[in-house]
Amino acid sequence: MCGIAGIISPDHSKVEPGRLKAMGDSLAHRGPDGEGLFVDHQERFSIGFAHRRLAIVDTSANASQPLTYGDRYTIVHNGEVYNFPELREELKLFGHQFRSSGDTEVIAAAYAQWQEECLTHFDGMFAFGIWDKEKRILFLARDRFGEKPLHYHYDPENGDFCFASEVKALRSIGIRTPPDMQMIFQYLSLGIPYIPGETDRTFFQDIYSLPPASFLKFESGKGKPYIQRYWDLDKISMTEMDNRSSRFRFQELLQNSVMRRLRSDVPLGSSLSGGLDSCSIIALCRQEAASAYSHRSFSAVFPGFSGDESIPIREMGKAFHLQQMFTEPDEKGLNDHIDKLVHQLEMPPSSASVFAQSGVFEIASGTEVKVLLDGQGADEILGGYKKYASWYLQELFAARRYGSFKKEMKALRENGFLEAWGMKNILAALMPGLAGVQLEKRARRRQLHHPGLSASFIDSCYDPSSVNKPTITSLNDILYADTMMGGLQELLHYADRNSMAFGLEVRLPFLSHELVEFIFSLPSSMKMQDGFTKWVLRDTVKDLLPPTITWRKGKTGFEPPQQNWMTSSSVQASIYNAKKKLHDLGIINDKAVQDIIHPHSAYAADGQDWRYWMAGCFLG
């Protein structure tokens, strides 16, 4: 994990150590272990890199960045390529030699060998930039799911191109583009801080995010950057394995993913929420018994709150002999630190869960642990959220598998995974295209007739194309949409910013692309069975975890007592001040300011007052 940045410009004075150092300094939290600069002045342009280092694998000076390979390629890299030992051995067969024992030099050698095709060889989370001084091409790339960030700005008038791990690094050299008010409108009107399918959008005009699973090439003086996608999930092809073989293959891929993500030269620990996903990762880490794994876990607890997970967390601690640390976030901490948190996130967050997550990383940062394994991603790829039960039943109903439909509906309801299922679901199952159209119409009506937004703000920001409801004919369709079109990227953004704020690396074993590809090839009945979500995972870890965790009924998300916090007079004062600010900016109307504040839970559908508060913090 690191912070990376770079500039390429026809104006040599813009690529000088002072400006590059300013970019690196703005990313110091991402890399507290070292810094480095690189400058190459060509005849018609100059290029420079800045790097802040968080030393995880090969902590020696040999792996310092920017790193030059073969006197031709210079690389800055953020993240980890977990299969680098295997790739190093393969590249040695082609004659490549190495002076470091880390993954960055392997990435450079792989690019030297295979060019952009190298990306298909990597299992990891990464964002990197490579300067090829022979071809005079800047090559940027990002991992398949977007675990690691990479932002860029291109000015066609003067030919400048800049990139960085975070927007604040671009702003540190004077790129002061205004907020993207259409993104603010999307957030306030629909409650989502992204536009589905537009994974290049940020909350700043003319600053873009390189989409997941994509690479970018830029040649100074040759026009705008060229961007290409190098990978996508196949949601249609199904495995021909029987159920027994499929379970074995799933277990093999998950264990391999955990094993690779335990590769480290510094101590590792685990985030522990108390749910199936994080508990499964801890059980598998214990099974692998890697020397770097510290058996330390870090958790947020909320005593007295219905969503508190202290019991399963402590049960895991006892079962696996964990050294446990806890944080108890409260409304005072939220109110005191929310402005700083929103600045760090560079976007308004959807709920107070982000604050609780930040607290977990903060307590871990006070220990020797520098890497945390986490269960994030499992819900999106395995169908863990309650909403997925309805989509699964619609798939069964549309396929006329009425016996299975009735059995699963009864079991899902009894196990607490199904909230409602009725005539609308039947119509959606029989006419999925029409259902998508109706959902889009409903969302557009919410935008056009939002009671709190000013008419002028709606008129200036409304764009019907920003509402995208894909046609859902199967469970895989909705899982794909949430994994690849923005939903998962939102959560990964929070995890990256929150962890890197404290100089920590977070690794996500469920997001091995080989594992995800295999999960998407499984029939839906392997994801939901006998009234349980994430069935293949439960079946895999049933002998590793306490039954009370493996077969726990219902879904408890990582949810803080946000509604209670919002009743605090200090929090309500902050919300009111944020609403006044939005009103002064012409975003909300008089009625919205005068309305009493309605405290609501973290995942409430109508969480308007939280959104007003967060938007006010972001625009402040």
What is the number of other CB atoms lying within 10 angstroms of the CB of residue 423?
Answer: 7
Query: Predicted confidence band at 219 (pLDDT cuts at 50, 70, 90)?
Result: very high
- The answer to whether residue 580 scores a pLDDT higher than 80 is yes
Q: Is the whole model's pTM more than 0.85, yes or no?
A: yes
State both tokens at 598: 């309605």
User: Coil, strand or helix: which one is 27?
Assistant: coil
Give tens-digit pLDDT for 313-346. 999 999 999 999 999 999 999 999 999 999 999 9
Q: String of b and e for 308-333 (b: at least 16 CB within 10 Å)? A: bbbebbbbbbebbebebbbbebbbeb
Average pLDDT of span 429-457: 96
Rounded distance, CA 404 to CA 410, Å?
10
Which ranges constitute the DSSP H helices of 180-242?
Answer: 181-190
Query: Predicted confidence band at 555 (pLDDT cuts at 50, 70, 90)?
Result: confident
Share of the chain above pLDDT 70, in %: 100
Cis? peptide before 66, omega within 30° of 0? yes
| Ramachandran angles phi, psi of 572, nearest 5° | -65, -35
Structural domains in the chain, CATH included, are 2-182+200-229 (3.60.20.10), 243-382+487-550 (3.40.50.620), 387-482 (no CATH), 562-619 (no CATH)
Rounded distance, CA 253 to CA 516, Å?
9
Which pLDDT score is estimated for 22?
A: 98
Query: Predicted confidence band at 235 (pLDDT cuts at 50, 70, 90)?
Result: very high
Give tens-digit pLDDT for 497-543. 999 999 999 999 999 999 999 999 999 999 999 999 999 999 999 99
State both tokens at 10: 């026809």
Give tens-digit pLDDT for 2-60. 999 999 999 999 999 999 999 999 999 999 999 999 999 999 999 999 999 999 999 99
CB 49 within 8 A of CB 35: no
Angstrom CA distances, 24 to 121, 167, 171, 211, 583, stand at 29, 12, 12, 23, 36
**Helix or strand holding residue 500 (H, E):** helix 487-500
Which pLDDT score is estimated for 27?
A: 98
- The answer to whether residue 556 scores a pLDDT higher than 80 is no
Which pLDDT score is estimated for 220?
A: 92
Query: Predicted confidence band at 583 (pLDDT cuts at 50, 70, 90)?
Result: very high
What average pLDDT does the chain have?
A: 96
State both tokens at 530: 């006998």
Closest among 515, 516, 496 to 506, alpha carbons compared: 496
DSSP string, 461-489: H--GGG-------SHHHHHHHHHHSSHHH
Query: Predicted confidence band at 589 (pLDDT cuts at 50, 70, 90)?
Result: very high
Q: Residue 129 pairs with which residues in a beta bridge?
A: 76, 140
Rounded distance, CA 68 to CA 99, Å?
11
CB 428 within 8 A of CB 387: no
E strands in 150-223: 151-155, 160-164, 208-209, 214-218
Rounded distance, CA 161 to CA 148, Å?
20
- The answer to whether residue 265 scores a pLDDT higher than 90 is yes
- The answer to whether residue 420 scores a pLDDT higher than 90 is no
Average pLDDT of span 341-355: 97
The two beta strands, 268-271 and 2-9, are unpaired
- The answer to whether residue 378 scores a pLDDT higher than 80 is yes
Which pLDDT score is estimated for 288?
A: 79
E strands in 207-340: 208-209, 214-218, 226-229, 268-271, 293-300, 323-327
- The answer to whether residue 236 scores a pLDDT higher than 80 is yes
SS3 of the chain: helix, strand, coil, percent, to 5: 45, 15, 40
Query: Predicted confidence band at 99 (pLDDT cuts at 50, 70, 90)?
Result: very high
Rounded distance, CA 287 to CA 119, Å?
30
Query: Predicted confidence band at 73 (pLDDT cuts at 50, 70, 90)?
Result: very high
Share of the chain above pLDDT 90, in %: 96
Average pLDDT of span 412-439: 94
Query: Predicted confidence band at 558 (pLDDT cuts at 50, 70, 90)?
Result: confident
What is the number of other CB atoms lying within 10 angstroms of the CB of residue 502?
Answer: 17
Which pLDDT score is estimated for 164?
A: 98
Cβ-Cβ contacts under 8 Å for 148 (sequence gap 6 or more): 78, 79, 125, 126, 127, 142, 165, 496
**Top-confidence residue, 273 or 557:** 273
